[in-house]
Structure 1
Amino acid sequence: MPAREDNIPQTDRLLIVFSRNPVRGKVKTRLARRTSPDFALEVYERLRKITLNAIQSTDADLQIWYTDCIPVRDLLLEHPAEALLQQRGDLGNRMAGAFRRGFEQGYRKIILIGTDCPGITPGIIRKGFALLDTHDSVIGPAVDGGYYLIGLRFFFADIFDGIPWSTPDVCPMTRRKLRAAGRTVADLETLSDIDTLDDLRNSSLIIP
């Protein structure tokens, strides 16, 4: 199914997915170091298929933000979506840019996820949007101290500034920034991301 070409909100909810372009040697590099680039790519594509299943019934507009280029065809674009290119800078700068654009488009509740979490489901995403009815923000904590989901109903770039990405401090520091600004925070269940071979071994992910 082709990507959506318009950027007119169909609802007040926006789901943003950050995806790396699936290129051998450029995805899951920590996993690849202990396995192989081909195996790491296979794992990443499996995770992206899980993500696709999770985003297909969430009753929200969808944007897929790619790291390197906008593909002509991609499995994440099998569901109607707007395809976009992440801006330059660190992860915080890229996420802030995506949220800023979404709120400028007129969305009132925005959730952003990645493509690293094998436990993500449509129910978790729907619960995240429901929590934004009564909270300013929602976080899906990851076991490693990061988060697999963040949702906002306001634009607050400061929560993405000065964060030590890929450390156990990511989620706690983000919560502190939100609460220091007087914002309410709701938590979803804690799930695991897959970045390393140990993560994969400790997960239920099955690679054919």
Structure 2
Amino acid sequence: MSNLLMIFTRNPELGKVKTRLAKTIGDEAALEIYKFLLEHTVKVTKDLKADKATYYSVSNINNDIWDPVLYQKKEQKGDDLGERMHNAFSEAFQNGYEKVIIIGSDMYDISSEHIEEAFTQLDNNEIVVGPAEDGGYYLLGLKKPIRAIFENKAWGTDTVFQDTMKDLTNNQVHLLETLNDIDVYEDIAGKEVFQPFLKKINI
């Protein structure tokens, strides 16, 4: 395979995932929702015709939902998100991949079609970006490392997408449709799929 899908994931530990969401619904409910989102990401990605790698935030986990037959298991390396993503892309290209895409593991609105479109669009574009409604992005696809994308960004804020696009003014970029990320209570309040989690805690 010349295509690689990299999935950045946080180790599912109580009190360490979906911390902004947890401020409203509590740590235990936030962890349950995060695990649900992980399972959704597996469903979306497992049948894609590309090599796949799961990048853990802390350390690899054996016997979890990421089947080692389908997913290479790696650890994120770097001091901030930008450095960790840059290092992952650099390693992928050094290993001979020609088209590399990175996504997170907690985007309920993403589908396999979005990822397939991104790989296809890399045939005629240098970069593919999937903007998120919160001002970040949920997908980034490259055909070569571009270090500037990963530097001087306020990660986790609403300026990331805008600042990234400023770095790409001289590149041919394809934008996917904008999707909603799951970060705070308002992101799940109106979605029926999350109601069973909220009913458990009487919200």
Give the TM-score normalised by the residue count of structure 1.
Answer: 0.90
Structure 2 unaligned segments of length 5 or more: list them: 197-203
The answer to whether structure 1 residue 201 and structure 2 residue 189 are counterparts is yes
The answer to whether structure 1 residue 191 and structure 2 residue 147 are counterparts is no
Provide the C-alpha distance between the structure 2 equivalents of 1:141 and 1:32, rounded to a whole number of angstroms: 24
Aligned residue for 2:124? 134
- Measured against aligned partners, the alpha-carbon deviations of 1:24-52 in whole angstroms (never above 9, x if no partner) come to 11111111121111100011011111111
Q: How many pairs align?
A: 196
Contact 2:55-2:73 within 8 A present in 1 as well: yes
The answer to whether structure 1 residue 151 and structure 2 residue 141 are counterparts is yes
- Percentage of pairs with the same residue: 38
Provide the C-alpha distance between the structure 2 equivalents of 1:105 and 1:55, rounded to a whole number of angstroms: 21
Quickly say closer, same or farther: Cα 1:48–1:178, change in 2 above 3 A.
same
User: Alpha-carbon deviation of 1:207?
Assistant: 5.1
- 2:189 maps to amino acid: R
Contact 1:56-1:79 within 8 A present in 2 as well: no
Contact 1:50-1:120 within 8 A present in 2 as well: no
Provide the C-alpha distance between the structure 2 equivalents of 1:81 and 1:137, rounded to a whole number of angstroms: 24
Aligned residue for 1:58? 48
Contact 1:118-1:193 within 8 A present in 2 as well: yes
| Aligned-residue CA RMSD (Å) | 1.3
Structure 1 unaligned segments of length 5 or more: list them: 1-10
Give the TM-score normalised by the residue count of structure 2.
Answer: 0.93
Residue aligned with 1:77, SS = coil
Runs of 4+, deviation exceeding 2 Å: 76-79, 202-208
Aligned residue for 2:2? 12
Provide the C-alpha distance between the structure 1 equivalents of 2:131 and 2:12, rounded to a whole number of angstroms: 25
Provide the C-alpha distance between the structure 1 equivalents of 2:190 and 2:83, rounded to a whole number of angstroms: 31
